[in-house]
Amino acid sequence: MTDTVRDAAFPVARPRRLRRGPAMRRLVAETRVLPENLVLPVFVKEGITERVPISSMPGQFQHTRDSLRAAALEAAEAGVGGLMLFGIPGHKDERGSAADDPDGIVQAALRDLAAEVGDDLVVMADLCLCEYTDHGHCGPLMADGHVDNDLTLERYASVAAAQAQAGAAVVAPSGMMDGQVAAIRAGLDRSGHTGVPILAYAAKYASVFYGPFREAAEGAPRFGDRSGYQQDPANAREALREVALDVAEGADMVMVKPGLAYLDIIAKVADSSPVPVSAYQVSGEYAMIEAAAQRGWLDRERAIVETLTSYRRAGAEQILTYWATEAAHLLR
């Protein structure tokens, strides 16, 4: 009788035993984010002579070709795994002509990066047209204002070939057009780039958290929004379908984006994906934490490490984050 009472009051199972000090906690930690898991998104802009701070993303810049090289070197020295390059051209038009111009800003910057850090980190090129079109949508438009899916595929195939030719080690289509991975694979293979993998932004949601990015990349749609091609935040099953289609079309890696509001999607995709799973900690996630930290409402460094750990715990193997270089130092 007394034993039963004792058992109830003093439990035998005591999970706290394994939390008794930093050494014990380190020993039993299940999840570690490594610097080489991190990918740094970077912006390069044509026609500027000094890097331009992005006001809604404190600490981030629109780079010149020179300041980009410096940022890439810093990332490489910190042990970051890769870069994701976005370009902002001097001239925009209906079809986004600058995106596959061999002398366009992205191609020039890719050549710089391949030469400067190409052996030390994986230089990836974001493949979309929204930074290059004058209307800000991710492909040329039809008369009714919707993006012309199949015409866009032809454009993406050409952009992929130009990026690979300029030295991109990976191309990463982010436009959410149907059939984009197959079209890009064909474009790469036709142009002799059979060895260049595709990281597909497979499950990309129409998210408010891209807000600051649109200032950074100057790619906000002039009218309407992207709900006609990006996914509805209400849907999970659709994400698995998108991933399955992209894998069937030849995606070598798949991405979920954003991450923090979609950790369930990362976990589901990681459970079933036959290829590596990446996730993108997007501009709005960065801005939220930076803003709260500026006000003294959050411990910035702990917030960075905790959110990155949650991505990894959910199953993401590569994490795109604007904190990549700094986090690589924090995680050492």
To 5 degrees, how large is the angle CA 162–CA 164–CA 167?
A: 110
Nearest-approach distance from CB 282 to ligand PBG, in angstroms:
4
Q: Please tell me whether residue 210 binds ligand PBG under the rule CB under 6 A.
A: yes
Q: Closer CB to ligand PBG, residue 127 or residue 277?
A: 127
DSSP letters of 146-163? SB-HHHHHHHHHHHHHHH
Nearest-approach distance from CB 92 to ligand PBG, in angstroms:
14
Nearest CA to 181 among 125, 225, 245? 245
CB burial string 133-148: b at 16+ within 10 A, e below: bebbbbbbbeeeeebb
Instruction: Based on the residue annotation, tell me whether 204 is a catalytic residue of this protein.
Output: yes
Give, as ranges, the residues between 131 and 150 that touch ligand PBG (CB under 6 A).
138
Q: Which stretch, 122-130, 159-167, 184-192, 237-245, contacts ligand PBG (CB under 6 A)? A: 122-130
Q: Pick the binder of ligand PBG from 33, 38, 78, 130 (CB under 6 A).
A: 130
Q: Please tell me whether residue 60 binds ligand PBG under the rule CB under 6 A.
A: no
Q: Strands, DSSP E only, in 5-150?
A: 38-45, 52-53, 61-63, 82-88, 122-127
Give, as ranges, the residues between 280 and 299 that touch ligand PBG (CB under 6 A).
282-283
Give Dmax (Cα) for the chain: 85
Nearest CA to 198 among 259, 269, 142, 276? 276
Instruction: Based on the residue annotation, tell me whether 257 is a catalytic residue of this protein.
Output: yes
Q: Please tell me whether residue 213 binds ligand PBG under the rule CB under 6 A.
A: yes
Site residues (CB under 6 A) for ligand PBG?
126, 128, 130, 138, 174-175, 210, 213, 226, 282-283
Active-site amino acid positions:
204, 257
